[in-house]
């Protein structure tokens, strides 16, 4: 089966090519859209849980109380989400169960992180959500209108850029463990803001590849459970995009 590749690591041709038989029920775009919507609701539910925990404990006199209240949940959401994401990636057949669990765990993580940012920069979360949804809609319109053709060169370029970003983040993490100064990635300098803008553009382009992959997988008659897997892959990109929006807006806020 010749399916279009995506730079999203959880949406790739190997997932489909290793399935030797198709079920009678097949993946559809509408089914994937519905499941993506359900996963978004689960993310919001998980986010509200840690958001409320943070602001119930948070006070101006004791701002650290909020962080202390959500710190264990951030670990559960972050580590648990990573484990469930790996399970889903290696066993797509289980995505009907694991994808919703992933959404809840990511919601728990995002809710806590969002609350921390909101306590430092009032209004930043709503702006980040609005920008993320705006980029999502813009990329969907661009994809459907075929203004930007999804060619092999385009795919390879986005794939290389995504891999490069992952290597930079991994390298900065390892370098930080040895005391190296990687503040240029996280401070509010023009260079740091420029890097964040580039990362957001790459994340947005990943959305277009995800749309393309889901459409072609549906046309190829992938199994019904792949609707959950396609929604999971799209959610991975949306979570990444939202976090990068938060970081970018916080950098601008620090310059004011």
Q: How far is CA 14 from the centre of its chain?
A: 21
Average pLDDT over residues 164-175: 88
Q: Residue 151 burial (CB < 10 Å; 0-12/13-18/19+)?
A: exposed
Q: Enter the tokens of residue 211.
A: 């749309």
> HSE on the CB side for 63, CA within 13 Å?
7
Q: What is the pLDDT of residue 232?
A: 96
Q: Which of 253, 45, 234, 242 has its CA nearest to residue 129? A: 242
Q: What confidence tens digit (pLDDT) does each residue in 39-62 have?
A: 999 999 999 999 999 999 998 888
Q: Judge contact between 110 and 175, C-beta under 8 A.
A: no
- Confidence band (pLDDT; 50, 70, 90) for 14? low
Average pLDDT over residues 70-92: 96
Whether pLDDT at 37 is above 80: yes
Average pLDDT over residues 156-164: 94
Q: Judge contact between 115 and 83, C-beta under 8 A.
A: no
Q: What confidence tens digit (pLDDT) does each residue in 185-219 have?
A: 888 899 999 999 999 999 999 999 999 989 999 99
Q: What DSSP assignment string belongs to 218-236?
A: HHTT-BTTHHHHHHHHHHH
Q: What confidence tens digit (pLDDT) does each residue in 92-123 have?
A: 999 999 999 999 999 999 999 999 999 999 99
Q: What is the pLDDT of residue 178?
A: 81
Residues 6+ apart with CB under 8 A from 43: 103, 104, 106, 107, 110, 235, 239
Whether pLDDT at 2 is above 50: no
Q: Answer with the residue of higher pLDDT: 122 or 19.
A: 122
Whether pLDDT at 132 is above 60: yes
Which residue reads 């993490």 in tokens?
173
Report how far residue 17's alpha carbon sits from residue 7's, in angstroms, rounded to the nearest whole number.
16
Mean pLDDT of the chain: 89
The SS3 call for residue 187 is coil
- Confidence band (pLDDT; 50, 70, 90) for 169? confident
Report how far residue 69's alpha carbon sits from residue 153's, in angstroms, rounded to the nearest whole number.
47
Q: What confidence tens digit (pLDDT) does each residue in 237-247 have?
A: 999 999 999 99
As a 3-state breakdown, the chain gives helix, strand, coil percent values, each rounded to 5, of 80, 0, 20
Q: How far is CA 29 from the centre of its chain?
A: 20
């Amino acid at each position: 089966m010749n399916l279009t590749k995506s730079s999203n690591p959880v949406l790739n041709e190997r997932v489909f090519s290793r399935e030797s038989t198709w079920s009678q029920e097949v993946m559809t775009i509408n089914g994937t859209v519905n499941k993506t919507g359900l996963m978004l609701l689960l993310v919001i539910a998980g986010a509200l849980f840690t958001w409320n925990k943070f602001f119930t404990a948070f006070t101006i006199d004791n701002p650290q109380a909020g962080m202390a209240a959500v710190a264990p949940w951030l670990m559960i959401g972050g580590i648990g989400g990573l484990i469930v994401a790996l399970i889903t990636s290696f066993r797509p057949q289980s995505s009907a169960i694991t994808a919703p669990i992933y959404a809840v765990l990511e919601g728990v993580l995002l809710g806590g992180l969002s609350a921390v940012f909101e306590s430092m920069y009032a209004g930043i979360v709503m702006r980040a959500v609005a920008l993320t949804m705006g980029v999502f809609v813009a990329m969907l319109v661009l994809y459907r209108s075929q203004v930007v053709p999804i060619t092999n060169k385009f795919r390879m370029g986005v794939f290389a850029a995504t891999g490069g970003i992952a290597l930079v983040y991994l390298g900065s993490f390892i370098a930080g463990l040895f005391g190296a100064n990687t503040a240029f990635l996280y401070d509010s300098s023009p260079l740091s803001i420029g890097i964040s803008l580039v990362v957001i553009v790459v994340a947005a382009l990943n959305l277009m590849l995800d749309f393309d992959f889901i459409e072609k997988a549906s046309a190829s008659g992938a199994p019904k459970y792949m609707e959950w897997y396609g929604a999971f892959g799209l959610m991975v990109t949306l979570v990444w995009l939202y976090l990068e929006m938060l970081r970018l807006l916080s950098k601008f806020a620090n310059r004011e």
